[in-house]
Structure 1
Amino acid sequence: MNLIQIAAGPIIGAIIGYVTNYIAVKMLFRPINPIKIGNWTLPFTPGIFPKRKGQLAKALGNAVGNNLLTSKDVENMFLSENIKNAIVQEIGSSLYEMDEHHTLKNIFAGFVSQDAYQVLREQAENIICSKIMSGVSRMDIGTIIAREGRRAIKEKIHGTMLALMVNDQLIASVASPIGAKVDAYIQENGQDMIRSIVREELAVLENQPLATFMQKIEIEEKHLTGMVDRIYSVFVQKKLGGYIKQFDIAGVVEKKVNDMDVLEIERLVLSVMKNELNAVVNLGALIGFVIGLLNLLLK
């Protein structure tokens, strides 16, 4: 047996192993479309990735949305010290440095429509009026006026001849109806009077520059930043998770993968696994060589 005959078996085995694994790797992505002969579809066409792209997209979407990037993960990310401090500092500084054109009305206009703003304004007006009216009713102003009226009358007539003719019952008969009239007037007209005042004050407030408003209520930048920090933390902890679920990260990832061209998926996979896939091809050559060599030794 000459040298060529000895080397032929392992070399042919290596070539077969190399070509077989090379074809197997290529069949992950090729052919892109099924090959048909009449009504018969050639087996193993299209390739694995083109054929299973929908299942791959769904699996990746579930993996990312339900395991890798959950709403809790996003919440923790936004609550991390670096990100939270950066966002809070930026918002606090921006609010404090706003010029005269940045009124409360203009700021809200950047987030909601004019109609939505009017609805919010009316709701705020109704809540404020209701709270004030409720407080006024609890104060029982009519009773206070009647009581203070009786006291004032007694003080006024004390030590005079009139005090001998005017007793407590007479004073009460004068003061009590006045108190009752005041209560009735408040119940009948108080809401409208309060609403008129609240509406005027809200108009002044909403057209006032934010910087002026903060200066009036003596909010320093560090205090403003602290308020923003608390609001931000509460929002992230209580609201962000619900918004993330509405985003449907799994669905977004699935749609993105489904929208990708098969060639894009191939380039993406090869950018990560090219060396490993080449190693699989070379391993096929090595196994083929070893099998050819063993076959030669066993003869």
Structure 2
Amino acid sequence: MEFILTSAMMVVISAFIGGVTNYIAIKMLFRPYRPIYLFGKKLPFTPGLIPKRRDELARQLGKMVIEHLVTPEGIKKKMEEVSFQQKIQSFLLQSIDAWLAKQKTLTELLEEYGVSNSKEMITTRLERAIEKSILHFFNTDQKVSHFLPQEWKKNIELQIPNLAEWIAMKGVQYVESDEGKQALQRMIDDFLQQKGTFGGMIQMFLGNLNIADKIQLEAAKFFRHQGTIDLIYSILFKEWSRLLDMPVSEVTSRMDKDKTSLSIAKLISEKIRIYETLDKPISELVQPYKQAITEKMLPAVISSSVLYLQNSVEQIMKAFDIDEIVTAQVESFSVERLEEVVLTISKREFKMITYLGALLGGIIGFVQSIIILFI
């Protein structure tokens, strides 16, 4: 009976000592927070291990994060996952839909960013930009042909024969009309009057024959003749070729460039209907293109962005200095806060270590009681 009581006491005492020892050892990781001095000398084991090594711990944590936890390879691998890209696309779609659902106009959006009188400002700037571009075009020394697409030039040249025939036809119509006949009669009368006596002799020689009728008939034949049409075509083609070879500045040299460019700029501005556009909800402006944005543009932007980030992730991480961020963050913690963080993560393990110390102490106490029994 005495042996049992002795063994029980030794087991309890050893278990208590083992548990308390481990508990104190765990506490000494953090406590005391600051060095303790006695008679001017610092007591050993003060401050605790973690307060004493906090700077080194912060550096090691930063190094561990950048080398083993948040690595460029890990980030690249994550970006390659289809699910990751789908999450990004889903998030962006939701954000776009939520933003468009606000039914804001462009004017309201610009006002939110501090742009007041946006309508007048945009109209003025647009007109100035257009006017400047037109003036630059009017003053350029490049040839007209430089600004015309090859297809346009080809189509215009194909229409020159039709234009020549149209001019000839209009000539025939005018000459055969009453207005044309009267114009011919006036021209003949003026000609004969200018010739004086010689003109009177011609009139007497022709007698009652109406010269205008004769000339009208011949003029109509002239315009109908294929040679006339070919001549008109030749003139038009030569002038067209000469125009293509002329500098734009020479073509526009006889016009008031400032006034013309301003008029064109105002006309374009009116056709664009800036005021009407700015007063429309953004959702209405985007609606015709929403399907293309969500099905084509957005996936393409995400894909290219992910590819760019994958190629640049190492440089980006170096620029962020993640290890220094972690180090600075840990160093900014008070010792109490650092203890709280560590205990939050490892509280259960620390308890198990305490219990393990008590268990080992109890086992050692029991073994000691057995040894004492046989001594």
TM-score between the two structures when normalised by the length of structure 1:
0.66
8 Å CA contact retained: 1:28, 1:47: yes
Structure 2 counterpart of 1:274: 347
- Matching of residue 139 in structure 1 with residue 208 in structure 2: no
Which is greater in Rg?
Answer: 2
- Matching of residue 213 in structure 1 with residue 282 in structure 2: no
Structure 2 counterpart of 1:204: 274
* 1:265 aligns with one of 338, 342, 356: 338
Superposition map of 1:103-182 within 5 A: 103=107, 106=110, 109=113, 137=147, 139=149, 147=157, 151=161, 154-155=164-165, 156-157=167-168, 159-160=224-225, 163=228, 166=231, 173-181=238-246
Q: 1: CA distance between counterparts of 2:267 and 2:58?
A: 56
- Consecutive unaligned residues in structure 1, runs of 5 or more: none
After alignment, is 260-269 or 31-40 more displaced?
31-40
Q: 2: CA distance between counterparts of 1:253 and 1:294?
A: 48
Deviations 1:106-128 (A, max 9, x none): 29949xxx9xxx9xx99xx79xx
- Matching of residue 90 in structure 1 with residue 74 in structure 2: no
Alpha-carbon distance, 1:170 to partner: 5.7
For 1:94, the aligned partner's letter is A
Q: 2: CA distance between counterparts of 1:23 and 1:293?
A: 23
- Matching of residue 286 in structure 1 with residue 359 in structure 2: yes
Alpha-carbon distance, 1:7 to partner: 4.9
* 2:295 aligns with one of 198, 219, 226: 226
3-state DSSP of counterpart to 2:57:
helix
Alpha-carbon distance, 1:94 to partner: 3.3
Q: 2: CA distance between counterparts of 1:185 and 1:290?
A: 109
Aligned length: 280
Structure 1 counterpart of 2:47: 46
Q: 2: CA distance between counterparts of 1:234 and 1:104?
A: 32
Q: 2: CA distance between counterparts of 1:143 and 1:151?
A: 14
Alpha-carbon distance, 1:24 to partner: 0.8
Alpha-carbon distance, 1:61 to partner: 3.1
3-state DSSP of counterpart to 1:80:
helix
Q: 2: CA distance between counterparts of 1:212 and 1:185?
A: 45
Q: 2: CA distance between counterparts of 1:175 and 1:282?
A: 103
3-state DSSP of counterpart to 2:245:
helix
Alpha-carbon distance, 1:46 to partner: 1.5
Task: State the identity %.
Answer: 23
8 Å CA contact retained: 1:29, 1:50: yes
After alignment, is 55-64 or 98-107 more displaced?
98-107
For 1:294, the aligned partner's letter is V
Q: 2: CA distance between counterparts of 1:105 and 1:281?
A: 62
3-state DSSP of counterpart to 2:32:
coil
Q: 2: CA distance between counterparts of 1:149 and 1:184?
A: 26
After alignment, is 20-29 or 155-164 more displaced?
155-164
Deviations 1:153-185 (A, max 9, x none): 643457438629948776655443333346445
Q: 1: CA distance between counterparts of 2:112 and 2:301?
A: 17
3-state DSSP of counterpart to 1:99:
coil
